[in-house]
Amino acid sequence: MQDYKYYLEKFSEYGEVVEVKQSLVVVEGLPNLRINEIVVFEDGGYGQVTDISDSVCRVALLKKTSQIKSGEKVSRTDSLLTVPVGEEFLGTMINPMGEIIAPENKTVEKIENKSIESEIGGIDKRAKIDKQLLTGVTLVDMLLPLGNGQKELVIGDRKTGKTSFLLTTVKNQIKLGKTVIFAAIGKKKTDINKILNYFISEKIIDKIIFIASGSDDSENLIYLTPYTAMTMAEYFRDRGTDTLVVFDDLSTHAKIYRQIALNSDKFPGRESYPGDIFYLHAHLLERAGNFTGGVSITCLPVAETIEGDLSGYITTNLMGITDGHIYFDRSIFTKGRRPAINLPLSVTRVGRQTQAPIYQQANHEVTAFLSEYESLQNLAHFGAELSPNVKRVITRGERIIQIFDQKYSEIISSEMQLILLALAYCESYFDIDINKLKEKLLKEKNKAWIERVGEMKNFKDLLEYLEKNKKNIC
């Protein structure tokens, strides 16, 4: 981008700042200006036009080199906002404008610029979601499966394990060859550094573009974060690379947009959010999907609830836009279960169709059983007075819950997930400590019988095989 003098000489137009509202500037003049155009200030800063009315326009500041004052000159550029994209950004942390934050000494020479707004492909450019996206988390992969190209909302209160789940998923997807775009939206610097350090310590940073905006950044920069991430994902999609995009989180993004809208004197709607907030997020998330040509952008947006309230405005908006949601429950978290996912209140609308038949059968069998287990769980305190059938249901349910418990950052293959779930379900193994058996099998993952199990097509056949081969397995 050139400086103010260059554009003044080119277009022979200038405007003047008449009012400054935090990171929003009101400019008078520039009669040929258009919406979303970039303007350059006399001091070297620049911003994007968000609103035009009568003889004035409102400009969202994206970069300022000094304090903007009334009377300062402004020139138009006749160009819309673009961000740099490319494989050269893999292994870096950048801000929403594409400027590298870490590593400090890295520079990118060959840069392609791409508009942050793109046309959303119609149904003729979409394909059925038919490949499973494996997170490495047993509970999700077995009972709440995700598909490549799915938009799955991750929702829950603060500090209930949402980011931990996302980081585990990112780690597994990178091991399976996928490129990841992780957008941290308006986060504290300490939280950003924790995520960055995790990527470095797990040696997966080379396959990640980490786009971060801090809580102390300008509202306009924070607002752009998910758009930069999606634009970067579209660059890789256009080159035939499957991409996973994480938005952590869109609740913060909505609050930032509300603040910008109120400063712009937009008429407030429900909870003071502007009327186009649903369109804003729907337009962003619809850029993800499974596309013709066998390439996909999978999107995992995050929303934060307060006191477990799932009926909040932004929460219900995002539920309506996405293809399901995974709900992290505070009450389950305090019981010590990890991940703290509330299965009955979680939904995956298109993921089950991506599972192989044996996994679909296991999913159906275990989901139906857990419904029965939940209804009988309150009877457990009766102890010896329980009937043998109720005791069997409670024992099996407890063992399945133990199998679903998983350490932070631990990844379990889909074949081993199926085996462990079947072992917890199988009555003939009730006399064996399931946690010790799980630990033993995870160390023996390359045994021949495990590979044979992976070739089975029927869940009942798997249960019969495990019963007959108990001595070899234990």
CATH number of the domain encompassing residue 68: 2.40.30.20
pLDDT tens digits for range 213-252? 999 998 999 999 999 999 999 999 999 999 999 999 999 9
For the cut 70, the answer to whether the pLDDT of residue 94 exceeds it is yes
Rounded CA separation 416/412 (Å):
6
Q: Which of the residue ranges 14-18, 21-25, 305-309 would you say has the lowest mean pLDDT?
A: 21-25
Cis peptide before 249 (omega within 30 of 0): yes
Domain check: are 118 and 257 in the same one? yes
344, with CB counted inside 10 A (0-12, 13-18, 19+), is exposed
CATH (domain of 322): 3.40.50.300
Number of domains in the chain: 3
**pLDDT-based confidence at 381, cuts 50/70/90?**
low
**pLDDT-based confidence at 474, cuts 50/70/90?**
confident
Residues 6+ apart with CB under 8 A from 211: 93, 94, 95, 96, 181, 182, 183, 184, 225, 228, 229, 232
Which DSSP state fits 342? -
Domain check: are 323 and 401 in the same one? no
Domain check: are 325 and 370 in the same one? no
Rounded CA separation 298/400 (Å):
29
Rounded CA separation 156/250 (Å):
12
- The predicted pLDDT at position 43 comes to 86
Characterize 436-450 residue by residue with b for buried, 16 or more Cβ atoms within 10 angstroms of its Cβ, and e for exposed: ebbeebeeeeeeeeb
Domain check: are 144 and 249 in the same one? yes
Q: What are the E-state strand segments in 64-109?
A: 73-80, 82-85, 92-94, 100-102
Domain check: are 348 and 432 in the same one? no
- The predicted pLDDT at position 380 comes to 67
- The predicted pLDDT at position 53 comes to 85
What predicted TM-score, i.e. pTM, was given to this entire model? 0.94
Domain boundary among 306, 334, 352: 352
- Among 237, 349, 352, 399, the active-site one is 349
Rounded CA separation 430/397 (Å):
11
pLDDT tens digits for range 170-229? 999 999 999 999 999 999 999 999 999 999 999 999 999 999 999 999 899 999 999 999
pLDDT tens digits for range 271-285? 999 999 999 999 999
Task: Give the pLDDT mean for 294-301.
Answer: 97
CB 445 within 8 A of CB 412: no
Domain check: are 159 and 228 in the same one? yes
Residues 6+ apart with CB under 8 A from 389: none
For the cut 60, the answer to whether the pLDDT of residue 384 exceeds it is no
Q: CA-based angle 84:82:31, to the nearest 5?
A: 155
Domain check: are 195 and 254 in the same one? yes
Domain check: are 302 and 412 in the same one? no
Q: Show the domain range for 455.
A: 358-473
Domain check: are 293 and 375 in the same one? no
Residues β-bridged to residue 245: 181, 299
Which DSSP state fits 85? E
CATH (domain of 372): 1.20.150.20
Rounded CA separation 181/211 (Å):
7
* Active site (annotated) includes residue 349: yes
Domain boundary among 64, 80, 96: 80
Q: Is 38 helix (H, G, I), strand (E, B) or coil?
A: strand
Residue indicated by tokens 């998910």:
226
- The predicted pLDDT at position 111 comes to 81
Return phi, psi of residue 447, to 5°: -70, 150
Q: CA-based angle 458:464:468, to the nearest 5?
A: 145
Rounded CA separation 386/380 (Å):
8
Amino acid identity of residue 293, one-letter, is G
pLDDT tens digits for range 346-369? 999 999 999 999 999 999 999 999
Domain check: are 323 and 248 in the same one? yes
For the cut 90, the answer to whether the pLDDT of residue 21 exceeds it is no
45, 121, 38, 127: which is closest to 83 by C-alpha? 38
Residues β-bridged to residue 16: 28, 73
- The predicted pLDDT at position 211 comes to 98
Which DSSP state fits 411? -
Domain boundary among 46, 80, 114: 80
Domain check: are 267 and 400 in the same one? no
CB 166 within 8 A of CB 154: yes
Cis peptide before 339 (omega within 30 of 0): yes
Task: Give the pLDDT mean for 95-106.
Answer: 91
Domain check: are 347 and 364 in the same one? no
Distance linking the first and last C-alpha atoms of the chain: 67
